[in-house]
Structure 1
Amino acid sequence: MSIVFTEKDKVFSLHTKKSTYQMKVDQYGFLLHLYYGRKSRGCMDYLLHYADRGFSGNPYEAGEDRTYSMDVLPQELPCQGTGDFRSSAVAIKNSDGSYGCDFRYQGYRITKGKYGIPGLPAVYADRDEAETLEIYMEDKVTKVKVTLLYGVLPKLDIITRSARIQNNGAGKIYLEKAQAACLDFVGGEYDLLCFYGRHTSERNVQRTPIGHNAQVIGSRRGTSSHQYNPMMILAGRKTTEDAGSCYAMSFVYSGSFKGEAEKDQYNQTRMLLGLSDELFSYPLETGGAFHVPEVVLTYSGTGLAALSQNLHSCFQNHLCRGKYKDKARPVLLNSWEASYFDFNGESIYQLGKQAAELGIEMLVMDDGWFGNRKDDYRALGDWYVNEEKLGEPLAGLVKKINELGLKFGIWFEPEGINEDSDLFRAHPDWALTIPGRDPVRSRNQLLLDFSRKEVVDHVFEQMCRVLDQGNIEYVKWDLNRSLSDCFSRNTADQGRVQYDYMIGLYDFLERLLQRYPDLLLEGCSGGGGRFDAGMLYYSPQIWCSDNSDAIERVSIQYGTSFGYPVLTMGAHVSAVPNHQTGRVTPFHTRGVVAMSGAFGYELDPKKLSEEEKQAIREQIREYKQYGSLMQKGLYYRLTNPAKEEVGAWEFVSQDGDEALVSAVMLKVHGNMPVSYIRLKGLKPDSLYREQKSGKVYPSDALMEMGIPLPVEMGEYRAYQMYFIKVEE
């Protein structure tokens, strides 16, 4: 069994292939965290230390024992009001107006399979792939009950953590803070890796030592955001890609969040991740329950690469769903940078005709096909086809595109609304605005109140009427602003609106996929503004960034790879000069970078030379050739593009017999030294043939010293090398 309860010590041990997570119910009913790390056996309560600490209070039951304090002990569920002055996981305003909660152990249950969470995305697994631990905690004064949920996927070295909070007392309470997971470490020196950015520059890696201060990341934007990603890594000071201990937390949620890491006055480190407590005050009537979105935990004792690979395997195989979970995605051409709003049905058809000639498999019609949509000032919310603009019904255009041998896709932004729209004129109260105040506009638009079921239902029906008009096999779901005017006319408790908005969004997405099970949904929020594990449950690929510049994408995709499978990253070859940076890069380089993602094009083929068109055909051929390796292989970061002059990465088959290495020269100098790229994951004491050159290389030398890149004139050269193990 992967979950073991030892009655004698009242210790829970959660075992995966390479890790152990352990906690203990102590004599007062507190649930203490003991250990998370390399797989071990036995009881680790010897790590607990008791001493009389000045100004660290003691529970009443401890009597005269001043050595016992929640301000010092490591905990699974640190609560506000128990004398622990570190960051708490749960805070409650009680029905009598007091603040505080004190949850004590009541019992447990172990079951086969992985728990689910009503209305929320979550990791899933078959009965023989996982076990679930439920630990029941209760505040004896207020009768509020917390069920801690642990899912253990032992083969993947994955543990998930969630909670259900239920008000069994008399009177309404308010949940003021709800973190899904807490890790307490009684010693050690750690760094925090977080992933920050902005629109068109997402998921930059920042690594900072954890000192005697609180490091806080998060989003107040109503989405997981471009600004911070809802993932954190705690790493030993000397941990590298290939050695050392590290821990990851990834939040399976797409709204506002908060992550915290701090070292306390006794050099203990605490890390928490969960819902943002700003604009959050969730009411629970008697009998009401609240479900905290889950956090995915994983540990590696062999460096950051293995940590990422654990998350990649979990998300790709136990979070993504649908037809394209295990299937190669079609190579697409998106119309946006080819024509923006300036298109009609004939120009879309001509774009499709050119795409078909190049071997592209899908055409996507982006923003501008609906209502009176001439620009981004109008018509969001009016989801009916502008047949006058297209010159024909949508069904006819889709049929013509299909007859070219192409799949057809379309763009939506269901959460947005323009004031200049039929929907706003009919239902101005459906927009999130604050009464008596002028709203904050962003990209000339507002947001619909998805916390209201009638709003979600209306937009869902509009969208279905469009999708039912033809064989539409792909939807790009976009969102182009943050949530700022957080007020719903549907409730007196405004502290529930952001969470209920996400429940409404997830309900919409689930219904959409149930109705159209073969639909390929690509998430987007101005590119990477909602690139999180929660969205991957519905969309197996997410537009990684609105920045399609190949050189910038090397860094963006590098940072994203720490937590997410590479093939979930929408990545396109775009025109030059690039529309975001003005940079000019070789066509081959753009292909190499985009090929390490969900591959496609964002350009107008008629503006390409014959040489570039031939390059597209070759890129698609190679993408198909390497597709299985990239989808099922192990991913390695070979360089750090923020610190080195070359960006390089590698896919290695699970058996180690194949490897695909990609490298991009980011900087060029006069009299430039040679760059050597060290490979990883090959079988020791073996020989590998590089297929294009035919040369044979010893694996140990490739991993120890590397392979030299050519020293060539010209900026931003890229190289791709495919190695196959030689049978001896």
Structure 2
Amino acid sequence: MSDFILRLQSAVTDVVIKTHPFAEIIYWGPHLSHFSSQDAACLTRPVANGRLDVDSPVTLMAELGHGLFGAPGIEGHRQGLDASPIFTTIKVEQNEQNLTIFSEDKHAGLRLCSEIQLDSSGVLNVRHGLTNLREQPWQVDRFAVTLPVAERAREVMAFHGRWIREFQPHRLILEHDSFVLENRRGRTSHEHFPAMITGSQTFSEMQGEVWGVHLGWSGNHRLRAEVKTDGRRYLQAEALYLPGEIALAEGETLWTPNLYGSYSAQGLNGMSQQFHRYLREQIIHFPDNKPRPVHLNTWEGIYFDHDPQYIMQMADEAAQLGVERFIIDDGWFKGRNDDWAALGDWYLDEKKYPNGLMPVIEHVKSLGMEFGIWVEPEMINPDSDLYRSHPDWVLAMPGYETLTGRHQYVLNLNIPQVFDYLLERMSWLLGEHLVDYVKWDMNRELVQPGYNGKAAADAQTRQFYRLLDTLVARFPHIEFESCASGGGRIDYEVLKRSHRFWASDNNDALERNIIQRGMSYFFPPEVMGSHIGNRYCHATFRQHSITFRGLTALFGHMGLEIDPVSADQQEREGYRKYTALHKQWRDVIHHGVQWRVDMPDATTLAHGVVSQDKCQAIFLVSQLAMPDYSLMAPLRISGLEPSARYQLTLLDHPNIQITGEGGHTMRKLPEWMTTSQTVSGEWLQQAGLSLPILDPESAILIGLQRV
């Protein structure tokens, strides 16, 4: 048996696979310092009475034919035949920490290729390829990646949401049966982010074992956490296919999306740090090695009201605030005066821009800023020249009324003429103008997506990738942002061809605290768009101080979503202050190690970033509502060098009021806020730092410098 046991290893995680006669992961957990393949024999399972007379493995494909009786990893048929495949290993190739397993079911005429990679970060990457070996097509109904987890993984954490309220976490204890998360909206979605975490009960940011997975796919998907009746547990993830959507011709291969997994014995922080490192080293590729430029996006400043002279005034003011990239949002193209018309007509509105875009672009660049522009290529308004000429270009099922969303339809990217038209129009925009950045939006879900009368959601997603891949190759100097009404298309696969996510259309600082924390579990700060919005939030009409808005936006790829011309002096000073503060700390924020801090009071959120050399750190404490207790718990700061001493600095605070007459929060501040102090890294991690009592919807920022 030991000849068939292979190990993939990293400094923190090992994966052990039994390769014959079937491929099965038998261990995914902490790194083993004294591994021997012979040890695997002690995991040979007994056979329970009252069940099958043989063992039922949870293989890489989780076939029902083994007597799994749970959710299989593959379902399909050849006109009703060959519907219960079992794959037997025929060849195994290992190259360091990369393993490829080839297996077949000769009776069903199917071949499986399983690719398993364990990165040095500890992130596991798995995908399967299925090939039809026969002349008659094989209809694919389901095709998933299945990863077993330990029996102690009893608690599940997933994410729900909606527009302007993305990345909301929820938890449940899973003792029996399964928890399933499904998305059928045609894009990654605000509602069901394709990730799931399971772990020891009450796992937290700083403690407990966790196994986290993320499916890199921008379309329909299904994730499952399941407990078998024998107590074994596994996670499963797949692209979700609509009926009749996938049929493999002879010799054709279908690949699952990549499933990325992370095991951590140090709670959610350890998991996130592995994912962040993996993305930085393997997936995120910025065109230039430069600091992430501070944005100003015009959307909430002027909406569709475009006047080139006024926009150049905005650029003047933006440059004075320290902005480094200026983006013109929706409203620049022919007939686009509201969201009812003109999508698809990607020609410049000559009434608004009689001299073209170049005078504005050149003015922006003369101020030392980059220029960006908004597009939504996948969409078409019924009120557009394009729709009037080509109503048949809509992604829809014939014979049914097509539903609008935001007064628009979806263009069928599977039609070659549609693809070519969009490629030509986007190439005109990006090739004939000095564009550095594209905000690519997608404001509508897919309803009855069809091509030639058959379901085509999966094909639409793949064509979107092809269009974006072509433009990235054609214009390698341009950065692309993935925006879908905010956080509707955020995943690792689209990140391979983009450079920034718009986390949410909601710039409300209170809501953003939760949204950005949820996003931080899987994405590092430098790809998370976080803007300071107007004093009165356009999404919620809530009002926050410039301090709370500025500090909340600090820990991402920062920007402003305002009209700087109409802003009053106090607001401008705030924008300038927090832009400068972000620039001062962005090297730490965008390259350091992120830590979220467990706080006993759920109304308090604390997180920060420690530089890779542990010489600097910056931590934010946000008070979301009235605290449960009259004293704040100490802030325990992780990630510092235990033996080093650190100078504490209060970098920013909400003008904390001290009163001797009652009626407010405090009579006396913690001593470190009024007297210079240095503290050891060990003390800050184990004992912590006293915090002031904060008002609801306020925050303080703490800096640490090694001395």
Pairing 1:684–2:605 present: no
Between 1:476-485 and 1:185-194, the stretch displaced more is: 185-194
Letter in 1 for 2:388: R
| Residues 334, 350 of structure 2: 8 Å contact kept | no
Residue 33 (structure 1) aligned to one of 25, 29, 51: 25
Query: Which residue of structure 2 aligns with residue 707 of structure 1?
Result: 689
Pairing 1:367–2:339 present: no
Letter in 2 for 1:234: T
1:423-434 paired onto structure 2 within 5 Å:
423-434=386-397
Residue 556 (structure 1) aligned to one of 515, 531, 550: 515
**Alignment partners' CA distance in 2, 1:670 and 1:506:** 48
Pairing 1:654–2:618 present: no
Q: Quick one: structure 1 residues 608 and 216, their matched pair in 2 at CA, closer, same or farther if it must change by over 3 Å?
A: same
**Deviation per residue, 1:553-605 (Å, 9 max, x gap):** 00011111111112211010000211111111110111111111110000111
Gaps of 5+ in 1: 1-6, 57-65, 113-130
Letter in 2 for 1:662: L
Residue 110 (structure 1) aligned to one of 62, 75, 94: 94
Query: Which residue of structure 2 aligns with residue 54 of structure 1?
Result: 50
Query: Which residue of structure 1 aligns with residue 200 of structure 2?
Result: 236
**Alignment partners' CA distance in 1, 2:243 and 2:457:** 8
Residue 285 (structure 1) aligned to one of 237, 249, 266: 249
Pairing 1:158–2:123 present: yes
**Alignment partners' CA distance in 2, 1:482 and 1:640:** 37
**Alignment partners' CA distance in 2, 1:666 and 1:219:** 30
Query: Which residue of structure 1 aligns with residue 316 of structure 2?
Result: 353
Q: Quick one: structure 1 residues 376 and 681, their matched pair in 2 at CA, closer, same or farther if it must change by over 3 Å?
A: same
Pairing 1:328–2:324 present: no
Query: Which residue of structure 1 aligns with residue 670 of structure 2?
Result: none
Query: Which residue of structure 1 aligns with residue 376 of structure 2?
Result: 413
Deviation of 1:718 after TM superposition, in Å, equals 1.8
Deviation of 1:607 after TM superposition, in Å, equals 2.8
Residue 140 (structure 1) aligned to one of 81, 106, 116: 106
1:189-268 paired onto structure 2 within 5 Å:
189-268=153-232
Query: Which residue of structure 2 aligns with residue 569 of structure 1?
Result: 528
Deviation of 1:329 after TM superposition, in Å, equals 1.5
**Alignment partners' CA distance in 2, 1:611 and 1:652:** 31
Q: Quick one: structure 1 residues 504 and 670, their matched pair in 2 at CA, closer, same or farther if it must change by over 3 Å?
A: closer
Pairing 1:18–2:12 present: yes
Gaps of 5+ in 2: 651-672
Any idea what SS the aligned residue of 1:162 has? strand
Letter in 1 for 2:25: H
Pairing 1:380–2:346 present: no
Query: Which residue of structure 2 aligns with residue 119 of structure 1?
Result: none
| Residues 81, 99 of structure 1: 8 Å contact kept | no
**Deviation per residue, 1:293-319 (Å, 9 max, x gap):** 111112112221111100011112211
**Alignment partners' CA distance in 2, 1:296 and 1:568:** 18
Q: Quick one: structure 1 residues 315 and 186, their matched pair in 2 at CA, closer, same or farther if it must change by over 3 Å?
A: closer
Deviation of 1:460 after TM superposition, in Å, equals 1.3
**Deviation per residue, 1:428-483 (Å, 9 max, x gap):** 11111221211111111111112333322211111111122321101000000111
Pairing 1:719–2:664 present: no
**Alignment partners' CA distance in 2, 1:280 and 1:305:** 41
Query: Which residue of structure 2 aligns with residue 664 of structure 1?
Result: 622
**Alignment partners' CA distance in 2, 1:215 and 1:184:** 15
**Alignment partners' CA distance in 2, 1:717 and 1:602:** 20
**Alignment partners' CA distance in 1, 2:358 and 2:50:** 75
Pairing 1:446–2:405 present: no
Deviation of 1:156 after TM superposition, in Å, equals 0.6
**Alignment partners' CA distance in 2, 1:461 and 1:80:** 48
Letter in 2 for 1:160: N
**Alignment partners' CA distance in 2, 1:483 and 1:53:** 49
Any idea what SS the aligned residue of 2:515 has? helix
Q: What is the total number of aligned residue pairs between the two structures?
A: 679
**Deviation per residue, 1:484-535 (Å, 9 max, x gap):** 121112xx6x24x122111111111111111111111111001001111112
| Residues 23, 76 of structure 1: 8 Å contact kept | no
Letter in 2 for 1:49: R
Deviation of 1:52 after TM superposition, in Å, equals 4.1
Q: Quick one: structure 1 residues 185 and 231, their matched pair in 2 at CA, closer, same or farther if it must change by over 3 Å?
A: closer
Query: Which residue of structure 2 aligns with residue 4 of structure 1?
Result: none
TM-score by length of 2: 0.92
Letter in 1 for 2:10: T
1:462-481 paired onto structure 2 within 5 Å:
462-481=425-444
Any idea what SS the aligned residue of 2:315 has? helix
| Residues 624, 697 of structure 2: 8 Å contact kept | yes
Letter in 1 for 2:494: M
**Deviation per residue, 1:51-103 (Å, 9 max, x gap):** 144354xxxxxxxxx1x143xx2322112444321011111212554522111
Deviation of 1:251 after TM superposition, in Å, equals 1.2
Alignment identity in percent? Answer: 28
Where in structure 1 do 4 or more consecutive aligned residues deviate above 6 Å?
none
**Alignment partners' CA distance in 1, 2:420 and 2:471:** 11
TM-score by length of 1: 0.90
**Alignment partners' CA distance in 1, 2:58 and 2:130:** 21
